[in-house]
Amino acid sequence: METWQGSEALILSGAPDNDISYVKAFLAEHPEVKIVCADAGLRHLHALGVSADLLVGDFDSGFQPSGDGEIIRLVPEKDDTDTMHALSVVLERGCKTVWIACATGGRLDHLLANLSLCEYAAARGCRCYILDAQNLVQFMAAGETIHIPKGRGYHYFSIIPLDRCLQGLTIEGAKYPIEAATVDRSQMYTVSNEVTGNEAILRAEAGSALVICSKDRTN
């Protein structure tokens, strides 16, 4: 199997996405990134006018791969999604940073499954980001420090607990700072914060969460 050790990867998932200009901007900023297409992500690949380093899927959605790129064909009856399988291949090949695009529109079950991939990757030593036109999502484990730089096109950041509660949560460098706080998942108050210094610093002593940087639509 080809090794991608030290490389970054971009996985194009198959969720509906009418505006993929953010993917074009990402590719312009990451010209060396490995491009992986998960099944129906083929339509986004064609719209971008780029070639994939790897195509993964059962291709039961009506989109069939063509060209000379590497293809991993899956059976429709399987335990993981095409996007999750693509991520597992990328991890196996040695990537430590993975971005997943075109993964948040459409079905809610697919959305939640895709968001969970950030935690799946983290457990295997990889930093995974979910990217769309308005949001950048990453996983925060207990005891981990997350740095959110000011700018980069995002106005807000939110912390969404995955466990029943976050304990010992500290937020520094933000409009709404807190220290050693407890945040309950059923009554979270860590939504729509803003970076005020050069960066915000986040850390929770117990519990895991999704950290979401976001911006409002401009049209």
pLDDT-based confidence at residue 30 (cuts at 50, 70, 90): very high
pLDDT at 64 over 80: no
Q: Model confidence over 142-192: pLDDT tens digits?
A: 999 999 999 888 999 999 999 999 999 999 999 999 999 999 999 999 999
Percent of the chain with pLDDT over 90: 76
Q: Model confidence over 71-118: pLDDT tens digits?
A: 888 877 777 888 999 999 999 999 999 999 999 988 999 999 999 999
**In this predicted structure, which of 33-42, 156-165, 175-184, 207-216 has the lowest mean pLDDT?**
33-42
CA atoms within 13 A on the CB side of 116: 11
pLDDT-based confidence at residue 57 (cuts at 50, 70, 90): confident
Q: Which residue is it, tokens 């996985």?
A: 11
In whole angstroms, what is the distance from residue 175 CA to residue 88 CA?
A: 38
Q: Report residue 66: phi and psi, to 5°.
A: -145, 165
Q: Report residue 128: phi and psi, to 5°.
A: -115, 135
Strands 70-73 and 97-101: unpaired
Across 53-74, b (16+ Cβ under 10 Å) vs e yields bbbbbebeeebebeeeeeeeeb
In whole angstroms, what is the distance from residue 203 CA to residue 44 CA?
A: 36
Q: pTM score, two decimals? A: 0.92
Q: Is 99 helix (H, G, I), strand (E, B) or coil?
A: strand
Q: Report residue 119: phi and psi, to 5°.
A: -75, -40
